[in-house]
A = this chain, B = another copy of it.
């Protein structure tokens, strides 16, 4: 896990998203609501999955996301921002995204949560390099902690190997999700970037495309790992 994130960190620095200067409170607030949302998606799968092992895997992933959420809200308090207010304005876009990507069954839900957190955690990790050094380091520590993904991957593989029909539906679902998640990332960039004198977001426009390409490459690796065509 940590090794993968180390690799992503190197890639994040290669793609110069560091020129983008995010507004710290917006950045942390948005990331915090994303983690709470991940808790809700994973725990929904825990409720719907029939086997105890799958329920536990999804519940653990949910709990890890909540821990990140808690660390981020503590960070907001340490920045003298009100955690609820800082998250509130991002709640509505998240709810819209979830309404658009309502899964048809728990397997789609679990894949969706895995795909979403995979892409967005990496995206925010890349965006974090534009914060001040101390904050970048704090965000890296929070996002690099265990996220329970190994258990989720095992649970998804079990399902995928047991059912060819499900497997092809999940491949489609992953393809369907990635576009919507990348739109969330784009919107996150627009909403968390500090405006400069002329109202133009610093560096954002020039740097977003290569980052999107890298996010898609990581997504493809995650789908491969599950035995799914991206």
Q: Which residues of A contact B (CB under 8 A)?
A: 33, 36, 39-40, 43-44, 46-47, 52-53, 55-56, 59-60, 62-63, 66-67, 69, 84, 87-88, 91
- A-B residue pairs, 9 tightest by C-beta: A43-B43, A40-B47, A63-B63, A63-B66, A59-B66, A52-B84, A39-B59, A52-B87, A40-B46
B residues near A52, Cβ cutoff 8 Å? 33, 36, 84, 87-88, 91
Chain A binding surface, main DSSP class: helix
Could you write out 7 A-B pairs with CB less than 8 Å apart?
Answer: A39-B59, A43-B44, A43-B59, A44-B44, A52-B87, A60-B66, A62-B62
- Shortest A70–chain B CB gap in Å is 8
Given A36-B59, A52-B88, 17 more A-B residue pairs with CB atoms under 8 Å apart are A36-B55, A36-B56, A39-B46, A40-B46, A40-B47, A40-B55, A40-B59, A43-B43, A43-B46, A44-B44, A44-B47, A52-B91, A56-B69, A59-B69, A60-B66, A62-B62, A62-B66
B residues near A84, Cβ cutoff 8 Å? 52-53
Complex CA distance for A39 and B88, rounded to whole angstroms: 25
B residues near A47, Cβ cutoff 8 Å? 40, 43-44
Complex CA distance for A52 and B53, rounded to whole angstroms: 29
- Shortest A113–chain B CB gap in Å is 12
